Amino acid sequence: MISTKFETNTEPSTSIKVYRLTDGNRPTIHRFYDTSPVSPSGRYIALTEFPYDDRLPVPGDQARVFVLDLETAEEVYSTLTSAWDTQVGAHAQWGDTDDALYFNRLDSADWSPYGVKVDFIARREDRLDTTVYMVSPDGSAALSPCLRRIGITQPGYGVVVPTDRIKTNRGASAEDGLYSTDTASGRSRLLISFADLISQAGIRQGQSHSSGAFYGFHTKWNPQGDRVMFIVRFAPDSARVGKTENYLFTLAPDGRDVALALGPDEWEGGHHPNWCPDGRSIVMNLIFPRPAGWRMSSSTLAGRIARRLGFRYFPRARRLSFVRIDHRGRETRILAPSSVGSGHPTVDPSGKLLITDAYPSEEVAFEDGTVPIRAIDIAADVETCLLRVNTRPQFVGRNNEYRIDPHPAWDRSGKIITFNGSKDGCRSVFLADLSPFIDNLQSDS
């Protein structure tokens, strides 16, 4: 039962009740759309509060990780950490029980980030050798790319340290890659290097790869904990921030059985892959099927000109779809042909309902800057706008670092989502009970 002390409102068209969990005065977010901030029992929620959101983070500045009791609306844990950034905070997330809260800290003596496992009830904290990006479903292991290097390709997802403390890679590094931590012992190891990853996937490094480097980005466990997704970006030396070639790999948790599910040519224009509940397929926004090259080029140019002139124009040749990809890249198909892809798509635990948000720049966003949280009944191919969310920040940053992405995330029951939004320009966290909507779907089917 969620406390009545939280401010609430009900969406008239869908009867969905929304709880505002934060006060709208202190900028706060939940981690990301692929992990729920709600604890396994459903009683607690873990969030990151920024010290400010009107300027870019400075090395050493501290954010606050805290836990709310959803039944009482009381804060039951709070701690400061310097290991945070603007899109995912300190990566606060849960293991398989309420007594295992994970997030990152930073040793300011040498600017080395590391993960911690906290039992906030017993007031015990265990240090891990390296950082936490995502914890396995059973809580036994944590995976992470290098959180100091991750900002080279896109800021917002790692830790903020002095630039002279960030090592750069060259080509496919043998010393950097994907790291794995045994959460019981805290011991970490390099699970697979970029050199081995590229080699095992059968990718030939061409001349262009010598004038740039591979870096790790999102890493995700599948729901069964027996397969890992690793998004790797190649950043040419001459590229601007965010202009990368993207690769989607999957592999076994022991670092073997590497498969390239999607290469940069197929990925171009797409974004945000996430595991489906079956653990063998991936949903993402993708241009599929891909039109002829000349149509893609002309559409890209037309869209760029329209944006510069201040027009909302979305060429059909670059329209996104929600696409399901086999984890080995052998099969690709559209999930919901009637819906336009956007935002951060996830499929509920039953595999029947897809929800997603949108960026203000995407086709389904509203012209006033608000964005929908949409639900797509996959079998019926029917879309519903569940909620309309204000995502306008007071300060967006040089490279859009402070944008407010809702990142709607399912809880373990498949009935509740948590999302970010703006309350009078302050990033805030909301929780929505989708039970009435889901119950109606089930009664209609």
Spatial distance between the Cα atoms of 419 and 431, rounded to a whole number of angstroms: 6
Give per-residue burial for 101-129: e unless 16+ CB within 10 Å, then b: bbbbbbeeeebbbbbbbbebeeeeeeebe
Spatial distance between the Cα atoms of 113 and 435, rounded to a whole number of angstroms: 39
End-to-end CA distance of the chain: give it in Å, rounded.
28
Which residues, including other chains, have CB under 8 Å from residue 251's CB and lie 6 or more apart?
192, 197, 227, 228, 230, 257, 258, 259
Spatial distance between the Cα atoms of 131 and 144, rounded to a whole number of angstroms: 6
Spatial distance between the Cα atoms of 379 and 350, rounded to a whole number of angstroms: 12
**Helix (H) / strand (E) containing 264:** helix 264-267
Strand order in the sheet with 134-135: 134-135, 141-144, 177-182, 188-193
> Which residues in the chain come in under a pLDDT of 70?
207-208, 239-242, 292, 294, 443-445
Q: What residues does each domain of the chain span? A: 7-444
Which residues, including other chains, have CB under 8 Å from residue 256's CB and lie 6 or more apart?
none
Which residues, including other chains, have CB under 8 Å from residue 84's CB and lie 6 or more apart?
48, 50, 57, 63, 90, 104, 159, 160
Query: Does the CA dihedral 49-51-158-100 come out positive or negative?
Result: negative
What's the pLDDT at 350?
93
Q: What is the pLDDT of residues 142-153, one digit of tens each?
A: 999 999 999 999
218 near 228, Cβ under 8 Å? no
The fraction of the chain above a pLDDT of 90, given in percent, is 84
Examine residue 264 and say whether the peptide bond preceding it is cis (omega within 30 degrees of 0): no
SS (H, E, C) 302-369: HHHHHHHCCCCCCCHHHCCEEEEEECCCCCEEECCCCCCCCCCCEECCCCCEEEECCCCCCCCCCCCC
Q: Which residues pair with 177 in a beta bridge?
A: 193
Which residue type, as a one-letter code, is found at position 295?
R
166 near 111, Cβ under 8 Å? no
Hey, is 5 helix, strand or coil? coil
CA 184 to chain centre: 25
Phi/psi of residue 442, nearest 5 degrees? -65, -35
- What is 7-444's CATH topology? Methylamine Dehydrogenase; Chain H (2.130.10)
What's the pLDDT at 167?
96
Counting Cα atoms < 13 Å in the Cβ hemisphere of 62 gives 10
Record the tokens describing residue 192, joined without a space: 């697979």
Phi-psi region of 153 (alpha: psi -120 to 50; beta: other; left: phi over 0): alpha
Q: Which residues pair with 76 in a beta bridge?
A: none
Name which of 59, 166, 53, 80 is nearest 401 in CA terms.
53
